[in-house]
Structure 1
């Protein structure tokens, strides 16, 4: 793959690599207090300067500020605490997504399995755009060909075809992102609604929600910063039903993480009513320094809503 040409008005990248002592000296010179140099050296070695920079960005003055880079009182320990908060937050999100994803895979496979046969999902007439359908089949074929799973080896050994496995096997092989594309491409609203029914959400809400959660899952899986990230794939918010979810949403910050977490809580309650995930999230949010939850889109009264155990 050839790289795009460098625009004429841009300079080449010439920043030098810094040793860890030089990294520490730079941070201190820009206004960050580092009380424990040994801890800083350890973290810069095992986490890296660049990864941690995503967290100290929160403590920087806006661009154009005259003076030190960091706001008064910024410490390395505070940056590290924010990094650790985000790491645990990602694990909490992945825990919820895993259970929701498994339930979604099962629902999609069950609905499509009753389209004539286990291979009925391959009928192109079920889908809206032939080109995208063809791309989805190609992506599925690639995932099947890479699979080392015993059930696929058994399928190839015992059966003459089709080359694609039945839907209940295909649902286990597809990435979450690919599965969301197969689902979104379904032509018949009744089919999309049947898949979303176990989650008690209208398909108009459920389809973009699945695609959104796939994006968030990938952020977590790649260990990227999540806590105050601006999310491009925004959710479609229900107006009134289900009321427990609709009432708890922040409609002025739909590109922030709070609404994602609210959806995860609601969906998890549908597929695992005995879960304690919401309380674990509340406990974890209590470890975040006061006032920083607004950077995640949390309303001030979020814990008062029924979704989170309140009465509103």
Structure 2
């Protein structure tokens, strides 16, 4: 297929949007935003407002305004920052629990004990990644071990865990040979180990979208989390188990809220999330998987 689309100036981008039915009362404001935010980036936010005419031409639904699109864009940015705040706390907590449990049960260098892990090729790749992170790290603690214990490939596990990304940590936990070991870590959060491992993998994808400034608002997440069924009993009813909602963001937010209540009980994260949602009601229009009456769930009601 031959590509024929020409580049458009900002002025022509605004003309195109207007011709397709988007109301742009403040041309200067639209010029400012389209100068600093790529047209194609914003397109993901106005796409749900589009319809396709019989001839293939795109048209906006009546009443669509440029400010509506910018409102959802700004909401999405704030949502990403809120997600990163929660993910940071959970990642640090999981690093701590993983390192503490393994060190007490398998020694200071448990991560170098091959039999502790299931797939040896995966374990070796994880070790190699960790060794590289250690050698190139400029953190003070890494420099200390590099200078004083230069015979070590990596420091003790309680130090090494601080060099791990959430994706790296996810692979280490998933690869533990004994389900009992994974469950011992999951018990800290009242979860089944299979649920925790699944959520950690899912959260790695969410974190990557957020960290790379990707749209998170109405994204359908391809790596889905396993929903708790029995453990804990009160949490099971919080999730939206509708098939269409399973890959949406609501279930992720619910699990984050549950975990933060354990990890950081003084946090006002749930309140901040609800306040953010209230600023942009159009963003909740079925695209994030929020179930009817979600605010009445004890998880959210106590925050309200």
Calculate the TM-score normalised by the size of structure 1. 0.91
Q: Does 1:270 align with 2:262?
A: yes
How far apart, CA to CA, are the structure 1 residues paired with 2:80 and 2:268? 16
Q: Which residue of 1 aligns with 2:86?
A: 96
- C-alpha change, 1:65 and 1:296, in structure 2 (3 Å) is farther
Of 201, 207, 210, 1:211 maps to 201
Q: How far 1:12 sits from its partner (Å)? A: 4.4
Q: Which residue of 2 aligns with 1:117?
A: 107
SS where residue 279 of structure 2 aligns?
coil
Q: How far 1:115 sits from its partner (Å)? A: 3.8
Q: Does 1:164 align with 2:149?
A: no
Q: Which residue of 1 aligns with 2:226?
A: 236
SS where residue 183 of structure 2 aligns?
helix
After TM superposition, the structure 1 = structure 2 runs for residues 111-260 of structure 1, keeping only pairs within 5 Å, are 111-252=101-242, 253-260=245-252
Conservation of the 8 A alpha-carbon contact between 1:200 and 1:270:
no
How far apart, CA to CA, are the structure 2 residues paired with 1:175 and 1:139? 11
How far apart, CA to CA, are the structure 1 residues paired with 2:299 and 2:49? 32
Q: Which residue of 2 aligns with 1:280?
A: 272
Q: How far 1:286 sits from its partner (Å)? A: 1.2
Q: How far 1:91 sits from its partner (Å)? A: 1.1
SS where residue 51 of structure 2 aligns?
coil
How far apart, CA to CA, are the structure 2 residues paired with 1:182 and 1:215? 16
String of CA shifts for 1:236-288, please: whole Å, max 9, x gaps: 11113212321110001110000000000000001111221112111111122
Cα RMSD (Å):
1.8
Deviates more, 1:136-145 or 1:28-37: 136-145
Q: Which residue of 2 aligns with 1:3?
A: none
How far apart, CA to CA, are the structure 2 residues paired with 1:14 and 1:274? 56
Q: Which residue of 1 aligns with 2:28?
A: 38
Q: Which residue of 2 aligns with 1:297?
A: 289
Of 68, 78, 97, 1:107 maps to 97
Conservation of the 8 A alpha-carbon contact between 1:31 and 1:68:
no
SS where residue 281 of structure 2 aligns?
coil
Conservation of the 8 A alpha-carbon contact between 1:303 and 1:310:
no
SS where residue 61 of structure 1 aligns?
strand
Q: Which residue of 2 aligns with 1:22?
A: 12
Question: Which segments of structure 1 move beyond 6 Å, counting only runs of 4 or more?
Answer: none
How far apart, CA to CA, are the structure 2 residues paired with 1:70 and 1:310? 40
Conservation of the 8 A alpha-carbon contact between 2:229 and 2:236:
yes
Q: Which residue of 1 aligns with 2:76?
A: 86
Q: Which residue of 2 aligns with 1:306?
A: 298
- Gaps of at least 5 residues in structure 2 are none
Conservation of the 8 A alpha-carbon contact between 1:212 and 1:234:
yes
Q: Which residue of 2 aligns with 1:6?
A: none
Calculate the TM-score normalised by the size of structure 2. 0.94
Q: Which residue of 2 aligns with 1:47?
A: 37
Conservation of the 8 A alpha-carbon contact between 1:240 and 1:247:
no
Q: How far 1:310 sits from its partner (Å)? A: 5.8
> What count of residue pairs does the alignment treat as equivalent?
301
SS where residue 45 of structure 1 aligns?
helix
How far apart, CA to CA, are the structure 2 residues paired with 1:255 and 1:85? 20
- C-alpha change, 1:32 and 1:270, in structure 2 (3 Å) is same
SS where residue 98 of structure 1 aligns?
helix
Conservation of the 8 A alpha-carbon contact between 1:28 and 1:34:
yes
